[in-house]
Amino acid sequence: MLTFAKQPYLQWPTQETMTVVWETSEPASSEVNVWDTARVHSGLDGRFRTLDDSARKITGHTPPDRIHRVTLTGLRPETTHHYRVRSVTATGETVESAVYPLKTAVNDDTPFSFGVTSEMGGSGTDAYNREVFEQMRMRRPDFLLLVGDAVNRGTHYDDWARYLFVPAEALLTHTPFYLVPGNHEENAEWFYRYVAYPDPKNYYAFRYGNTHFIGLDSTAIVVYDKSGPRLIERDGGFRPGAPQYEFLVNELASSTATWKIVFFHYPPYISADYQVDEMRALCPIMEAYGVDIVFNSHTIVYERSHPIRGDRLDLKNGITYVVAGGAGMRPQWFHHKKAWHTAFSLGTPHFLHVSVAGTRLELHAIDYEGRLFDMMVREK
Ligand SMILES: [Fe+2]
């Protein structure tokens, strides 16, 4: 019987497009119906379209396949639409999803919000992962940043359902996510098959509202093994001329956004085990181009830094580093006392809800039972 191995989820929203991805238990065709209507409570009354076999054009794969990617085009900006996916095997077996909402990216000056979490596979339990995603769902973020270690073993097929797609299912049907690789993703082929970001997929940048987001693959900058972390040469390392170095500089230098946010897995600042000092090689660049906030993970706790510039406190022009070690908890990794750069920290399963409205940004840190335990407001 043909079934969904992964329910449909959303990737890479723009003001006119959205990519829908799903996986079936057998190779099958790929079809998405999209309605322009924002509400379905009184029936589907909007314009009805069928996009058949778009996955073939988009992915270059020859259908039928098990993993389906269809990019919907011609959508209206900042608008809720509805969609449904359908696959059919060569023998006529059919599977069809429910109808789900999707929202295109907002206009440049429209307020928006996003969620941040990580470590569902690094430390999270099935129960915590479900609760964290359910709490996120209730806050209705426009999209998610997942700062790595979403799975325990990226090379293990079953992990992707267990740690990410099943516990987050009710959220991911209508909320796009941006995942950057952690060490637990193992630079595995499954990562590249499940995400639908521009090549090379493990690092990317996008504009949402008035904010420039840059996601990096820190596992291609630092190798982290039993002998400790060190800068590595994979993909050219991190120096002028290296792909991620040039990417970061070019993105920041060309940015006209009000807010600049960078996210990657290994934390340059954390008053706990698994700080990766080598990642501070990025700080002078991010400081020079006015990055506001950096989201990290890897240490499975929550910690927000004071504003830092030049490895010193700078309340006016510093970068705030937030380790959102997400769905798991390892409070035993905290050092005996906080470091000079620590503003607030707690070891509990959690996520962040970040709201951006013009020159005001509000960050809420919320635990798996919905309790607010930290917040920050920044204004320009
Ligand atoms: Fe990690």
CATH number for the domain including 274? 3.60.21.10
Average pLDDT, the chain: 90
Q: Are residues 13 and 141 in the same domain?
A: no
Q: Are residues 159 and 306 in the same domain?
A: yes
Q: What confidence score (pLDDT) does residue 237 get?
A: 61
Q: What confidence score (pLDDT) does residue 326 get?
A: 87
User: In what helix (H) or strand (E) does residue 51 lie, and over which residues does it extend?
Assistant: strand 48-52
Q: How far is the CA of 122 from the centre of ligand 1 (A)?
A: 6
How far apart CA 65 and CA 70 sit, in angstroms, is: 12
Q: Are residues 80 and 155 in the same domain?
A: no
Please give the span between the terminal C-alpha atoms of the chain, in angstroms, as a whole number: 56
For the chain, the maximum distance between any two Cα atoms, rounded to a whole number of angstroms, is: 65
For CA atoms 100, 106, 110, 111, the dihedral sign is: positive
- 51-68: burial string, b at 16+ Cβ within 10 Å, e else: beebbbebbeeeebbbbb
Q: What confidence score (pLDDT) does residue 264 get?
A: 98
User: In what helix (H) or strand (E) does residue 23 lie, and over which residues does it extend?
Assistant: strand 18-28
Percent of the chain past pLDDT 70, that is, above it, reads 90
For CA atoms 194, 156, 368, 375, the dihedral sign is: negative
Neighbours of ion ligand 1 (CB under 5 A): 149, 182-183, 298
The answer to whether residue 230 scores a pLDDT higher than 80 is no
Give the CATH number for residue 59: 2.60.40.10
Q: How far is the CA of 150 from the centre of ligand 1 (A)?
A: 9
Q: How far is the CA of 219 from the centre of ligand 1 (A)?
A: 9
- 363-375: burial string, b at 16+ Cβ within 10 Å, e else: bbbbbbeeeeebe
Q: Which of 62, 83, 103 delimits the end of a domain?
A: 103
The answer to whether residue 78 scores a pLDDT higher than 80 is yes
- The domain of 165 spans 112-379
Task: Render pLDDT for 240-295 as a digit per residue (tens, 0 to 9).
Answer: 888 999 999 999 999 999 999 999 999 999 999 999 998 999 999 999 999 999 99
Q: How far is the CA of 184 from the centre of ligand 1 (A)?
A: 6
252 phi and psi angles, rounded to 5 deg: -70, -40
Q: Which residues contact 4 (CB under 8 A, 6 or more apart)?
A: 22, 23, 24, 25, 95, 97
Q: How far is the CA of 119 from the centre of ligand 1 (A)?
A: 7
Task: Render pLDDT for 13-54 as a digit per residue (tens, 0 to 9).
Answer: 999 999 999 999 999 988 888 887 766 554 444 444 443 333
For CA atoms 262, 265, 266, 270, the dihedral sign is: positive
Number of domains in the chain: 2
The half-sphere exposure of 84 on its side-chain side, counting CA atoms within 13 A, is 14
Q: What confidence score (pLDDT) does residue 52 get?
A: 35
